[in-house]
Structure 1
Amino acid sequence: MNRLTFHRLLLWAVLLVFAAWFLTPLYVMVVTSLKDAEQLRVGHLLSLPSAPTLDAWSKAWSSACTGVQCEGLRPFFWNSVVTVVPAVLVSTLLGALNGYVLSKWKFRGSETLFAFMLFGVFMPMQVVLLPMSQVLGWLGIASSVWGLILVHVLAGIPSTTLFFRNYYVGLPDELIKAAMLDGASFWQIFCRIVLPLSTPILVVTLIWQFTNIWNDFLYGVVFSGADSKPITVGLNNLANTSSSVKEYHVDMAAALIAAAPTLFVYIVAGKFFVRGLTAGAVKG
């Protein structure tokens, strides 16, 4: 019993050390963002603010300079929202449809097609920059929100297809055959039987896609225009804008604003993400 207690205490001690190690940067960002310039000069990195203030957050949101403009992160934040919501929904829906076809309506060459689609999961993003720029130019949506949405949808389809295909493989084929015998069509089976059974993998895919697209910088800086830059680009511009005095508290507040949506998603839906993975997202 003593040995078991010692091992449990040792395990908790190790876990607490690692938790403190990973949470310290977040702690530093939060306490720094709540200080003013005077508190930054007289205090040290880990000290709590003597007089907490949200001035840095207000400036980062609405008046900090991001290059030649001084409108804060607000326009970049809404650009990301306008881009992320349709890109996540469309790529998830297309992935569900692809996974449904490749697992339950197999045809000659379907396995080969799936193998080729998997190349998109492992292909470096830099490879597609030039051809994608040409395609967006031909379509007339280069340097626009619509172009950025299309890029993220196409980039996300391989991953979403992989998730849904591997999940649907575990669904009994008898469900599909019974529905077909009852006269259900392709779309009726998909909408009334398959999708209602897809809640775990839907949650996984939505969280996965939201995180990837919201945190993306490369596509955002390459394919966006002056009025469509996402928040990652705005944060980079804010942090690199020269001034007489470096405002670390504003930079920290801006970084937390940029990270807030993904932190919120994982705090609220993190347990569902794990459940979805164990329910079949990584089977295959």
Structure 2
Amino acid sequence: MTRHDPVTESDHGYHWAVMRRAIDLIDARADDPPSLEDLAAEMRMSPAHFQRLFSAWAGVSPKRFQQYLTLGHARALLRERATMLETAHATGLSGTGRLHDLFLRWEAMSPGDYARGGAGLVIRHGWVDGPFGDTLVMATDRGICGLAFAAETGRDAALADMAARWPVAEHRPDPSVADLAGGLWGGGGEARLHLIGAPFQIKVWEALMQVPSGHVTTYGAIAARIGNPRAVRAVGTAVGRNPVSWLIPCHRALRKSGGIGGYHWGLPVKRAMLAWEGARADAAGEAGGDAGAGAAARA
């Protein structure tokens, strides 16, 4: 395995700006994939520097990453990594699941409190650089209640969108909220969530938390898991209203046909998330395989 440079929190915003441009170029030339030299020239970098930068972000080389961005990747995920939510529930993942090296612990606002639009609630917010660009973090005193990505919408629109979900709450800017995001990108630890939504929405979000990183599910499978198999459209709406994107992984919900479906913060972000997780999951599996082979050779 190639050793990749570590990515620090301060690198994330710069990396995403470069990777977003590279992904656009890869998309535009799907029938004639650009070479490493072509991509590097477009980014005005040397091939060696671009390769190091891209590999640090994606976990794999630019050439390898291209396969995760193809339209066929979603269909391949459904064939090979479609999580059976009933099985996940039976093995004890309901409510507290392990996602990309994070333990998620959550509690939900009562239906009555939700109906009051967040009255009496103080929600603090701040911005961080993440691997998918500018990221809004919102929190109550019980945990993270909002996570939004502004790469496609811009900061003002993302903040207005999230604040409108709890219109009677008191919203306060607070840069220290960014500290809650320290381990969100696979750095380990525990994240506490405060889910603020209608009872049906929370059932859908709970099901989403059972889908491991690098895997996917379908809107229909979620509907079946929550005991309402005909409510596929309503499930899709609830998925789109997920206020804690990434931690409640709505990007892992696909259409039964293999279509990527929609994403509230922009399809380029959803595709990048799926590709990023898929590439890292495969790279980790290969590293584990290499380690196992080495141990066998030494035995």
TM range (shorter): under 0.3
Structure showing greater radius of gyration is: 1
Greater relative CO, 1 or 2 (CA 8 Å, sep 6+): 1
Q: Which is richer in strand?
A: 2
Q: Which is richer in helix?
A: 1
